[in-house]
């Protein structure tokens, strides 16, 4: 018996009724689906799905994750609700579209920016689990996720450290913190949000992966890769070799995350926890690597920014692949359903737990994304395989067939006018239904946050 398992017995009298009920609940209700004893939600910042082996990438960026994923369910068509961090994290933690949760921001030139915080009337996933007796914790590394934005609501511990070009917590440090947090809380159900920042610019891969893919280009280009605004401004002059170098640096960051996720999963397995936990891996958005003649994220709603990984492991979850289009707003109801908790009803989001454990059929439904960080406001709706994108500043719409044209190169809006009108109307009605009755509460950013965002290239 491991030391961690042995230590579980200490302190039982204080929590006896909660723990025993948690362990025997499936038998009491006659349910054949085993409830997880805890939840770990891993969000890898800026991780586009198609740069992982499980989504068809040919470069070996994720061999360890690919191996672990064989024991979970890989959702092939998971979508973020926005192309940047703050709105999508709001969705991941509330199960609502950005129009509904109120967390956002617009960068308009050099004007001192203001943001909006989470609507006070909205419950969070952490808050719901906290009320169910879960220990709740988060390890967070992005200045957009400061407590002032309200996404810390419901967490007993919210270990926040803003990343900038001068400092950041690497995946290895975060994994150590996460493992330690879990070790201290094995006597009760727990929910831990683990945020890994590494694939976000600046691309500055650690020694263990450095030069793995960038090596052939290092006689002409050097690490780290930073200043995304400058890269966007000269995008037409970025050579093919420089683009390849930048992409290679991004992939090295993913390879480091892959290495550290393997270490984290091994640590959970050694403690006898992995098979009893619900573990979910996803991302807040992807990264454009010159796919549509631009760079980074926050400026468009193309698939390189919206298509994110979603892998789920858990008791009673059989490994496999799932083609059903899903959204990150489905994460909160799935977690609450898995642990037997009730949450705030939201008709736009739905639990994937019946599909994961009982193979219950779930009908396809539209997926929506909105809320660009800079440039024209853009929105998108997907009714697989059709996708409509709209530029609100001009009213221009484009329609793509994601099945035959995954790179979104051929606009079908004129040849499929009926589809275009239907998707436009559907997008409008979904956002109207999602929109909160409360006006978003503004919060002015302090100088420290502004400097952190400047160093990451978000504002001037």
Interstrand relation of 367-369 and 326-327 (parallel, antiparallel or unpaired):
unpaired
Assigned token pair, 151: 């996404």
Q: How confident is the model at residue 113 (pLDDT cuts 50, 70, 90)?
A: low
pLDDT in tens, 131-176: 999 999 999 999 899 999 999 999 999 999 987 767 789 999 999 9
Average pLDDT over residues 394-420: 97
Query: Is 344:128 a contact under the CB 8 Å cutoff?
Result: yes
Average pLDDT over residues 242-269: 98
Across 97-134, where does the E strand assignment appear? 104-105, 114-117
pLDDT of residue 106: 62
pLDDT of residue 33: 81
pLDDT exceeds cutoff 80 at 32: no
Assigned token pair, 238: 């970025």
pLDDT in tens, 340-379: 998 777 788 999 999 999 889 999 999 999 989 888 899 9
Average pLDDT over residues 414-421: 98
* Residue-averaged pLDDT of the chain: 90
Q: What's the CA gap between 303 and 384, in Å, rounded? A: 13
pLDDT exceeds cutoff 60 at 13: no
pLDDT exceeds cutoff 90 at 121: no
Q: What's the CA gap between 231 and 237, in Å, rounded? A: 9
pLDDT exceeds cutoff 90 at 453: no
SS (H, E, C) 45-105: CCCCHHHCHHHCCCCCCCHHHHHHHCCCEEECCEECCCCCHHHHHHHHHHCCCHHHHCCEE
pLDDT of residue 229: 84
**Of all residues in the chain, what percent carry a pLDDT higher than 90?**
75
Average pLDDT over residues 275-298: 96
pLDDT of residue 108: 52
Q: Helix or strand or coil: residue 108?
A: coil
| DSSP structure string for 381-413 | EEETTEEEEEETTT--EEEEETTT-TT--S--T
Domains for the chain: give ranges and CATH numbers: 34-363+447-455 (3.40.720.10)
Average pLDDT over residues 223-237: 91
For 331, the enclosing helix (H) or strand (E) is helix 331-338
**Is the CA virtual torsion 448, 48, 312, 404 positive or negative?**
positive
Instruction: Select the more confidently predicted residue: 188 or 194.
Output: 194
Q: How confident is the model at residue 460 (pLDDT cuts 50, 70, 90)?
A: low
Based on the number of CB atoms within 10 Å of its own CB, is 418 exposed (0-12), middle (13-18) or buried (19 or more)?
exposed
pLDDT in tens, 371-404: 898 888 999 999 999 999 999 999 999 999 999 9
Greatest mean pLDDT range, 1-15, 31-45, 63-77: 63-77
pLDDT exceeds cutoff 60 at 14: no
122-136, 267-281, 441-455: range with lowest mean pLDDT: 441-455
Residues 6+ apart with CB under 8 A from 50: 56, 57, 304, 307
């Amino acid at each position: 018996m491991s030391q961690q398992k042995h230590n579980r017995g200490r302190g039982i009298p204080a929590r006896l009724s909660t723990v025993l009920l948690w362990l025997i609940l499936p038998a009491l209700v006659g349910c054949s689906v085993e409830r997880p004893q805890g939840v770990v939600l891993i969000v890898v910042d800026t991780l586009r799905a198609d740069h992982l082996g499980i989504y068809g990438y040919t470069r070996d960026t994720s061999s360890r994750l690919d191996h672990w994923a064989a024991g979970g369910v890989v959702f092939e068509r998971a979508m973020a609700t926005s192309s940047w961090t703050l709105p999508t994290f709001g969705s991941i933690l509330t199960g609502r579209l950005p129009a509904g949760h109120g967390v956002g921001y617009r960068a308009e030139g050099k004007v001192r920016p203001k943001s909006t915080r989470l609507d006070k009337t909205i419950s969070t996933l952490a808050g719901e689990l906290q009320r169910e007796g879960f220990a709740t914790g988060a390890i967070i590394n992005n200045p957009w996720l400061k407590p002032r934005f309200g996404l810390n609501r419901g967490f007993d511990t919210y270990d926040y450290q803003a990343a900038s070009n001068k400092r950041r917590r690497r995946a290895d440090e975060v994994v150590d913190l996460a493992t330690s947090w879990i070790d201290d809380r094995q006597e009760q159900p727990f929910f831990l949000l683990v945020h890994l920042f590494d694939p976000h610019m600046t691309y500055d891969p650690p020694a263990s992966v450095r030069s793995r893919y960038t090596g052939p280009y290092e006689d002409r280009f050097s690490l780290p890769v930073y200043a995304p605004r400058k890269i966007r401004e000269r995008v037409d002059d970025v050579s093919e070799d420089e683009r390849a170098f930048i992409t290679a640096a991004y992939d090295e960051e993913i390879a480091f995350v892959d290495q550290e996720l393997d270490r984290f999963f091994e640590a959970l397995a050694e403690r006898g926890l992995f098979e009893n936990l619900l573990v979910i891996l996803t991302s807040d958005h992807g990264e454009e690597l010159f796919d549509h003649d631009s760079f980074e994220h926050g400026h468009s709603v193309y698939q390189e920014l919206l298509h994110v990984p979603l892998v789920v492991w858990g008791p009673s979850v059989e490994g496999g692949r799932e083609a059903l289009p899903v959204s990150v707003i489905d994460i909160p109801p799935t977690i609450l359903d898995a642990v037997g908790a009730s949450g705030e009803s939201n008709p736009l989001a739905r639990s994937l737990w019946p599909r994961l454990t009982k193979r219950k059929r779930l009908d396809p439904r539209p997926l929506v994304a909105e809320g660009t960080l800079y440039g024209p406001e853009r929105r998108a709706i997907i009714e697989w395989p059709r996708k409509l994108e709209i530029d609100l500043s001009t009213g221009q719409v484009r329609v793509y067939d994601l099945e035959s044209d995954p790179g979104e190169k051929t606009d079908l809006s004129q040849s499929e006018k009926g589809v275009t009108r239907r998707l436009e109307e559907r997008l409008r009605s979904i956002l109207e239904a999602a929109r909160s009755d409360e006006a978003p509460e503004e919060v002015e950013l302090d100088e420290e946050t502004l400097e952190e965002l400047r160093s990451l290239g978000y504002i001037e």
